[in-house]
Chains A and B, each alone.
Chain A
Amino acid sequence: DAGVTQSPTHLIKTRGQQVTLRCSPKSGHDTVSWYQQALGQGPQFIFQYYEEEERQRGNFPDRFSGHQFPNYSSELNVNALLLGDSALYLCASSLTSGRYLAKNIQYFGAGTRLSVL
C-alpha cells in the first residue's frame, strides 16, 4: 500500500515564475492538506481540500492556490514566486468520513523542496 507520494522531490525556480507541486494521497484517503515548512520552523498550514473543494485555508496569499481531482490527488500552485517561498512543501492525507478520530490521523509525504533563486 503506497503511502502519500509527492512530486517532484526537488525543484529550483526563479523569482516571478510559477510552480505546480503534486500529491497523491494514501490509498483510501479523501482529504489532502498542504503545509509550508521554512528552514528551522514547524510546518504552517496552507489549505485543505475535500470533495474537490478548498475546505479551509491558512494565512497564505492568493498566489497560493490548489486543486483536488476526482481521484483525490491534489496540486499546489504558487504564482509569482518570491525568494521567501523557498521551503519544504508537505502534503498530508487523511480520511474525513468514517471513524470519529479518523480526521485526526494524517499521513505525510516526504515533501517537495522548492528553492527560489
Chain B
Amino acid sequence: KNEVEQSPQNLTAQEGEFITINCSYSVGISALHWLQQHPGGGIVSLFMLSSGKKKHGRLIATINIQEKHSSLHITASHPRDSAVYICAVPPNTGNQFYFGTGTSLTVIP
C-alpha cells in the first residue's frame, strides 16, 4: 500500500472548468506539499500547508490533518495549467518524502 494516494490519475478538462485533485495519506505528518511537474521533468513547489487553506492566484489547497486528506483546486483552468500535479508528504519520523503517483491534467482550449 502506498503511503500517499492521489485521484484521479488522469484528468482532462475544458478551459475554464473548476478542477479538483485529491490526496490521501496514511503517515503522520506536520505538513503536506503540492508540486507541479511540467513535461521535461522540472518540479515546482506550489504549496506547503499544515492546516486549513492556502490560495495563490487561481490555485487553492486545503488540508484536513485529522482526516489525512488534502485537495488542490484550480479555478478557471487554462491550457497552461496542463501538467502533472503531485502530492508529497514528509512524515514526522524519518527524513524522506513520500510522493503520490501524480495526477496528469490536460486542459483543452
Interface residues of A (CB under 8 A from B): 31, 33, 35, 37, 40-45, 48, 50, 55-56, 58, 88, 90, 92, 101, 103-111, 113
**Which residues of B have CB within 8 Å of A101?**
30-31, 50
**Which residues of A have CB within 8 Å of B44?**
108
Q: Name A31's closest neighbour in chain B (CB-CB).
A: B95
Contact A106 B97 (CB under 8 A): yes
Interface residues on B, range: 20 to 34
**Which residues of B have CB within 8 Å of A108?**
35, 42-45
**Which residues of A have CB within 8 Å of B96?**
33, 45, 48, 56, 58
Counting CB contacts under 8 A, is B25 at the interface? no
Tally the A-B contacts, defined by beta carbons under 8 Å.
69
Q: Name A58's closest neighbour in chain B (CB-CB).
A: B96
CA distance A45 to B27 in the complex (A): 16
**Which residues of B have CB within 8 Å of A111?**
41-43
Q: Name A96's closest neighbour in chain B (CB-CB).
A: B95
**Which residues of A have CB within 8 Å of B30?**
101, 104
Contact B45 A107 (CB under 8 A): yes
**Which residues of A have CB within 8 Å of B100?**
42
**Which residues of A have CB within 8 Å of B97?**
33, 35, 43, 45, 92, 106
CA distance A113 to B40 in the complex (A): 9
CA distance A42 to B50 in the complex (A): 21
Given A42-B86, A45-B96: A105 touches B102 (CB 8 Å cut-off): no
